[in-house]
Chain A
Amino acid sequence: MAPKKSKKSKKEESMIDFVEEEVTGDVDEDDFEEAQEQEIELTDEKLQELLEKYEASKSAATKTKDDFKHLPKSQRGKALKKALRKDKRSRQEERSKIREELGESAPQKEVPKTIESMREYDATMVDEQDDEVEHDEANDEFAPYFNRETSPKVMITMTPKAKITTFKFCFELQKCIPNSEMFTRKNVLLKTIIEQAKEREFTDLLVVHEDRKKPNGIIFCHLPEGPTAYFKINSLTFTQDLKKFGESTAHFPEVILNNFNTRLGHNIARMLACLFPHDPKFTGRRVVTFHNQRDYIFFRHHRYEFKKEGTKAALLELGPRFTLRLKWLQKGTFDAKWGEFEWVLKRHEMETSRRRFFL
């Protein structure tokens, strides 16, 4: 709390000054007394006054676009923005001053409302310790991976007539994910691919779809009988197109899965974790991140290094950068016609609220 801190620091400073000056011989008692006086002054009336002032400053009048009619149209927008910002600044300063005066009885600092904080309540948010959820997860399709019975073996493939960019993307994925193999697909049905992959003991299958010569979707199938997820690729930048990038190595990377809160999110997070082998080589200092923000999953691939005794980490980007959005999750291997869907994004029902997210 700002006022408290300032108060304390003042006191501390004065104390320290006191001590030091005792040693040197000068005592500055004035500061100390002033601080005490200020506290005494705050009577109830003044308190109320200040609080009211505080609230009032929040709803102070601001400029509107009508105030700028004297400017030509092209400059009005900028001027309005500037003025609004200025007003905001002055209001904030006013409030901080009042807060200082109030001292301990200042109202709490306002927290800005973000979309994440205003998110609609979702009953499926996973609690930290939920026995049933844990039991469920201990017995679901990913259990063999998390129990260390299987180690991942990934097959990456694409649509039959894939173009160069898709190839490139698959190649990058192959470099990024250890233990993966890339196959070109020559008019083989997806179902036959799944059967063949099962025979050769693959654990995961990634199929990259493309449209207009650019990859635009990934079908992610976890193999033995696992769920199939279809992600839409929203944006993609290759390694070469990044501003600063480094070369990847073959060490097993660490995986960071951020912000997957709901049951569905948990499922997806476990799916993504299944791609990578269990034991990351910390000496390789490679980290792969899947960060979920408002239903968009951002993929990043970095090399990190700890600096300043482990208080800071420096990141060097390797590998591609892309965003995924989940479109549907199907129970069982890929069977779009006759399969059962665990979750489908139905735009008209689900995208009606801007504060509702599913992952």
Chain B
Amino acid sequence: MQCDDVTWNILHKGQCSYKAWSKPKMFCRNEMNLTGLCNRASCPLANSQYATVREENGVCYLYAKVVERSHYPRRLWEKTKLSKDMNKALEQISDQLLHWSEYVRHKCKARLIRIHQYLIRMRKMAVRGNQKKLIPIGRKVERREKRREEKALVAAKLDHAIEKELLARLKQGTYGDVYNFRQEAFEQMLENTEKELEVEQEVEQDDPDTGETQFVADFDSSDDEEDMEDGGGDGHWSPDATDSENEDDWQPEQEEEDEDDEDDEGEEGDEPMEIEEPPKKKVKKEVKKKKAAAAADGKKKKLKKRARVEIEYEEEVEPRQRVKA
């Protein structure tokens, strides 16, 4: 009590190393401070009779300081262990701090209650089993990873790799009959049907359709079909001739397709384009299918196909097993 006011004046107006400056209130970093604020009544240095409640390792202690011991720094603070039960602990505080100032007693009890609250919360969290672990991010590590990722991206040549893989799958035949522009399989089909045709040829010689000409609408594949018709009309259906013709057939058609597709892709990637594409493709596919059907089948069937407009796009072919990684 003697020099409390003087001490406070000095600390408050002048330098206090425990003062933590922050607007609007000033905080006190002294570990024995009861409220944590820098006040006349809260400053442990400026009050000769003072008390605090502190928690160490889950146990609460009451620290009390009186004037009589102010000359014994080592024995300054009297430490009493408080009970784990909050109510009993409050009673203990009342007992110990009997006849002390209301402010200190009140604040001690409030602090004790707060400590108990956060301990309960810690227990709840521990029992809950929250397995969150905070891993720090190193700046250099991040930078390194980013650089390496960029380089890996360049080395990967993704589009190329995807294309290669898709084409390999196509060659392998994982797509079944969905796409029908596979040369090898196409030729195989031809070979298979040649045998049929040779058999049919003998039968067909008496076919009244032989030699007849028909007038057809201007269709994409009209030229080709005329050629084939001629070839068929001659009665000699040699495999080589058909092959070369077919190759020629494919190319002009492909070119047309390519041009169209290039136009398509030149447009912006919006929904309308998508909707347009499938129908276009349907047409193309249908044409191709027709061609395939026409070339593979006999002359008879070809004629039939030409008349009808079949959309065989959504053929649910039994998909072959995906190549497993």
Contacts and interface: CB of A to CB of B under 8 A. Distances in A.
B251 to A, nearest CB: 9
Given A280-B319, A282-B178, A337 B131 contact: yes
A336 B281 CA distance: 51
Contact of B274 (A189, A247, A295): A247
B319 A293 contact: no
Given A234-B149, A282-B319, A347 B314 contact: no
Contact of A283 (B181, B182, B265, B314): B314
Interface stretch (A54-62, A92-100, A312-320): A312-320
B183 A296 contact: no
A290 to B, nearest CB: 9
B325 A266 contact: yes
Interface residues of B, number: 53
A244 interface: yes
Given A256-B165, A294-B152, A190 B131 contact: yes
Interface in A256-300: 256-258, 260, 266, 269-270, 273, 278-283, 287, 289, 291, 293-296, 298, 300
Contacts of B167: 306, 310-313
A293 B152 contact: yes
Contacts of B243: none
A325 interface: yes
B162 A260 contact: no
A85 interface: no
B146 A234 contact: yes
Given A283-B178, A302-B162, A307-B261, A296 B152 contact: yes
B176 interface: yes
B237 interface: no
Interface string A105-135: 0000000001110000000000000000000
Interface stretch (B16-24, B50-58, B153-161): B153-161
B3 to A, nearest CB: 52
B6 interface: no
Given A283-B314, A309-B183, A316-B269, A256 B162 contact: yes
Contacts of A190: 131
A347 B137 CA distance: 13
B159 A116 contact: no
A115 B232 CA distance: 59
A246 interface: yes
A322 B181 CA distance: 34
B85 interface: no
Interface of A: 114-116, 146, 189-191, 211, 234-235, 244-247, 254-258, 260, 266, 269-270, 273, 278-283, 287, 289, 291, 293-296, 298, 300, 302, 304-316, 323, 325, 335-337, 347
8 contacts: A247-B271, A258-B161, A266-B325, A296-B149, A304-B166, A305-B261, A306-B166, A315-B162
Given A291-B162, A298-B153, 20 more contacts: A189-B130, A235-B149, A246-B269, A256-B162, A269-B325, A273-B324, A273-B325, A287-B166, A293-B155, A294-B148, A295-B152, A298-B158, A300-B162, A307-B257, A308-B254, A309-B182, A310-B167, A310-B179, A315-B162, A323-B153
